[in-house]
Structures are given as structure tokens and as C-alpha cells.
Amino acid sequence: MFKNRITNPFLRGLVEWTVTFLLAILLFFVMRNFVFRTATVTGISMTPTIGHGDMLIINRLTYQFGTPAAGDIVAFPYQGNPSEIYIKRVIGVPGDIIDLRGSEFFVNDQLLNDPFSHESVLAMGDVIFPITVEEGRFFVLGDNRNRSRDSRFSSVGTVPQRDIMGRAVLRIWPIGEFGWVNSR
């Protein structure tokens, strides 16, 4: 476009470099706002799967074409402080009946077979069980059940799909643990 109009090689190179740079910035912002985002984990609610300080890539497109499934690790804003991003695992989808019996979770009368959590539940929360997950909402838990503020607590509750930012797919920090996030 400009090559034929600009005869000075230095100016032509400068214009080409500037246009390339601006297109790269535009592409970055489109990707950042519509395809992915990063989130840094604060706290130990998802250990051992994800630790405090881990930086994750959140796929924002995943739920534009589908809905969260049991086992997905999702990111959503905490309703008490929307600038705070929560990372939790989906345990219940719309229509599921979640029950906490003693120290174990049941989904639709089946013991939750969850290889990501290895402890008996001592933190019961303030939600009355059993609970039926409403249409368009999801029941989420932290993998570290006794150190997690999640759907057992009314301050979090079941999460509306419209609030789910996306699915955690990749750990990029710490570099020694770089790799796919373990879900399902």
C-alpha cells in the first residue's frame, strides 16, 4: 500500500515496521479480551492441583460454544469483590443434586469419586444440603476442601454460567511446573 508511494527506503521501512507493530498490538488485545486471559492463584484452595502463586492461562472461548462439565477447573469473579478471581473445580452441573453426608460429597446419590481431593471434608459451609443446582448455574469446590471458600458458602454459592470467564488450561508459572492443568 505504502511501498509504491514512499520512495525513501528508510521511511518505507519505518512505516512497514510501525504498521506491523500496531497490528501485533491489536492482535494481542483481541486475543487477551476474547480468547484467553491470565490469572494468578491466590491461596491454597486448589492444592495439590494448583498452588499459591501459580499463573494460569484461562481459555475464554471454551464456554462460548459449550457449557462447563464436571471436573472442569473454571475462573470466575468473587461476587463479594469482583476484582478477585476465584479458581475452582466444577462438581455439579444444572439439575444435579449435591449432598454433603458426614465428610463426603454425593452427586445424584453417587459418592463423588474425585481423585483430586484426598481429605475428609471438615469445613461444612453455611449452605443447607442437599442442594439442586439450578439451570444456568454450577456447583464448584476447591480441591483443598478444608481450605476453600466455594459453593458450600452463601458468599460464593452456585456460580452463574454468565460469570464464568473460562476454563483453566495451562500453568505458565512457576516455569518448573509448566504444563496442562489437570481436570476431569
Query: CATH 2.10.109.10 residue ranges in the chain?
Result: 36-180
Name the one residue in this structure whose C-alpha cell is 459451609.
Answer: 125
Name the one residue in this structure whose C-alpha cell is 509448566.
Answer: 178
CATH class label, 36-180: mainly beta
Q: Helix, strand, or coil here: 168? A: strand
Q: Give the distance from CA 61 to its chain's centroid.
A: 12
Of 48, 41, 45, 44, nearest in space to 115 by CA? 48
The pTM (predicted TM-score) of the whole model is 0.83
Look up residue 26 and give its amino acid: L
Looking at the chain, list the stretches that DSSP marks H as alpha helix, in order from N- to C-terminal side.
9-34
Catalytic residues: 45, 88
Of 95, 62, 92, nearest in space to 158 by CA? 92
Q: Are 183 and 141 in contact (CB under 8 A)?
A: no
Q: What is the pLDDT along the chain (184 residues), one digit of tens a residue?
A: 555 677 888 888 888 888 888 887 887 777 666 678 888 999 999 998 999 999 999 999 889 888 999 999 999 999 888 888 999 999 999 999 999 998 899 999 999 988 888 778 887 899 999 999 999 999 999 999 999 999 999 999 999 999 999 999 999 999 999 989 876 6
Q: Which residues of 93-119 are buried (b: 16+ CB within 10 A; e: fewer)?
A: bbebebebeeeebebeeeebebebbee
Name the one residue in this structure whose C-alpha cell is 448455574.
Answer: 137
Q: Helix, strand, or coil here: 59? A: strand
